[in-house]
Amino acid sequence: MRIPHTFHIPVMGTGFSIDTPIKVAKYGISSVISLVDDILIENMRKHYCGVTGETYVPITKYDEDFRARRITAYLDLVDRIVKKQFEELKNSAFEIGSEITKYFRLLSDNSELKKMYVKMLGTTDPAAKKNLQETLRNSITPGDINVNIMTKLDKDNYAQDGTKLPSECSDALSALRGYAQSTLQSAIVFSAGINRRLYSYAEEFKDFYADAKGFIKKKIILKVSDYRSSIIQGKFFAKKGLWVSEYRIESGLNCGGHAFATDGYLMGPILDEFRNKRQELVSSLYNLYNEALKLKNKLTFADPHEVKVTAQGGIGTVQENNFLHDHYNVDGTGWATPFLLVPEATNVDTATLNKLSVAKEEDLYLSDVSPLGVPFNNLRNSCSDVERDTRVEKGRPGSACPKGYLVSNMEFTPLPICTASRQYQKLKIEQLNQLSLESPVYQKRFKTIVAKSCICNDLAEGAMINHFVGDPTKRFTAVCPGPNIAYFSKIASLEEMVGHIYGRVNLLDPVYRPHMFIKELQMYVDYLIKDVRKNIGEVSEKQRQYFTEFKNNLLSGIEYYRNLFPTMLFESLERRNTMLAELQEFKIQLEEFASQNYSFFSDSLQPAASA
């Protein structure tokens, strides 16, 4: 059955959406659970076994295949809970305050189900009213319990004696196995780019293949930031007889969590390419898909399976949301960051929630705190950052690294360690101390070393605090909101936030908020300028080509928007004129910067000498 809502709640950190399906799936809202942190997952299973009265049998790190088994056990538990909740909702009375009434109140006023519900409310004939109520009960469906694997987080693992375990015991492959063996009928979201051994491993599990009727129990969703990567990854799966059911387009920078910048490709032009080439994408993959099924002696299909295209990253108004649907023909939108202000939907501890609710533009920035070396959307003075800085002041920089999901550095050790760990930072600072550097240079390098935070642990702390797991005074939450949260200041109910998405209420601050496309452009211009300024000294020809392509893609995007913005008739004339003026400002800024830093751009001319 079709999911009744036109939006979903994407994955947020490791802990913020860890139990979001338990909170919202019964109302038909789909959301995504992170599979990174099996320690958190096991703690959440213990908590919810206590809530539901189920017997909790621990799965310890000494048990065989413990990571996959923890994930399977938790997902099965969430599945049981949501199914029970939904049956109770479905059987509740149509009366004020009931769960089934809330289900229908949350729906978009434009949905056919909502219109039928309104018709039922206005029906006075008892028999006709009862018939409509039964039709409504039989027409509803819960939201999907989807999961996410960040493909870059795929460290190999070792036995107690130090022996390297087989590749299928790596973090990502174990997580995939945990999901594949669960009872869920949903989708797995792969994010952060291609991981060939992970994608190949999906071949091993029957639930990822379509049955004779074309039904796929466990669908594949790719989170992508451009059309080219979608083609490459889609073909990789198609050649294995696996179908990608959805391409989830996310802004490279105007998002929460890790920011994977494109080479200056902006969201509007990317969505336009998907709109224009969508049928071409499906057709090219369908042929490869059927050929692969033939080679595997599996049933082929006369027509391609359904392919959805959705968009997320910085959406903040009903006008932006509707424009994505109407102009680019997306099948759905993702709203993540605003839901950090909805305790009914996400796990944010009180201290962090209060910080987020008053955060302004200057409080949100792309940071260098991630041990992955990828820009990370961050909140200034988060509890995690304050605690990190306190350890530095006390002369004990770095984390104890209690979980180790982000270990990757082998500069000092035979086995990888994390750059946010106390072990690594101690060794790196000792190395720095041997260089006899000038104070300003030393301080700059020192700050670079100690800037890394233990985000794999601290992104889970909100959930741990909220569910009273451990001592809350010893837990320090990291948070990764997108810049969009600066324009939302109200801690909201689920009904209020859903109402905002559908245009029934307005939760935005009465301050100027740039359009999502303008905000992303601003972030990309700032990103390019910062990236160029990091490269002091001689620049290689490869770097020049990269910076030049980045700049030219931005200028091409600006030209695209110059033609697009006047057609946005749902925006006021004043708003459209402001957007066009902002475009011109960014174009001038970009061209002036390229001219002043001509040596970094292969197509920029050296400024003429003044007379």
Closest CA to 73 of 182, 171, 175: 182
Position 2 scores a pLDDT of 78
Q: Which of 32, 432, 462, 60 is nearest to 248 (CA)?
A: 32
Q: Give 605's pLDDT tier (boundaries 50, 70, 90).
A: low
User: Which is more confidently placed, 1 or 321?
Assistant: 321
Percent of the chain with pLDDT over 70: 98
- The 10s digit of each residue's pLDDT in 65-82 is 999 999 999 999 999 999
What pLDDT score was predicted for residue 537? 73
- Euclidean distance between CA atoms 540 and 314, whole angstroms: 34
Reported as a single tens digit per residue, the pLDDT across 96-112 is 999 999 999 999 999 99
Q: What is the pLDDT of residue 1?
A: 57
Mean of per-residue pLDDT scores for the chain: 95
Tokens of 169: 């015991």
Residue ranges covered by each domain of the chain: 366-478, 516-600
Mean pLDDT over 533-560 rounds to 93
Bridge partners, 33 (sequence order): 147
Q: What is the mean pLDDT of residues 561-586?
A: 96
- In this predicted structure, the answer to whether residue 561 has a pLDDT above a threshold of 50 is yes
Q: What is the pLDDT at residue 555? A: 98
What's the pLDDT at 538? 77
Average pLDDT over residues 561-567: 97
More confident residue, 472 or 316: 316
Q: For position 610, what pLDDT does the model report?
A: 42
For the segment 142-187, what is each residue's pLDDT rounded down to a tens digit?
Answer: 999 999 999 999 999 998 888 999 999 999 999 999 999 999 999 9
Q: pLDDT value at position 472?
A: 75
What is the rounded CA–CA span in Å between residue 466 and residue 472?
A: 9
| CA atoms of 505 and 503, how far apart (whole Å) | 6
pLDDT over 50 (residue 374) = yes
In this predicted structure, what is the pLDDT of residue 611? 36
DSSP 156-216: --B-TTSPBPPGGGSHHHHHHHHHHTSS--EEEEEESS--HHHHHHGGG-GGGSB-TTS-B
pLDDT of 460-482, one tens digit each?
A: 999 999 997 667 778 999 999 99
Taking residues 474-497, what's their average pLDDT? Answer: 96
Q: Which residues pair with 377 in a beta bridge?
A: 366
User: 315-323 contacts: CB < 8 A, separation 24 or more?
Assistant: 315/484, 315/516, 316/484, 316/487, 316/488, 316/508, 316/513, 316/516, 317/508, 317/513, 318/500, 318/501, 318/502, 318/503, 319/570, 319/571, 320/515, 320/516, 321/7, 321/501, 322/503, 322/570, 323/568, 323/570
Q: What is the pLDDT of residues 184-243, one digit of tens each?
A: 999 999 999 999 999 999 999 999 999 999 999 999 999 999 999 999 999 999 999 999
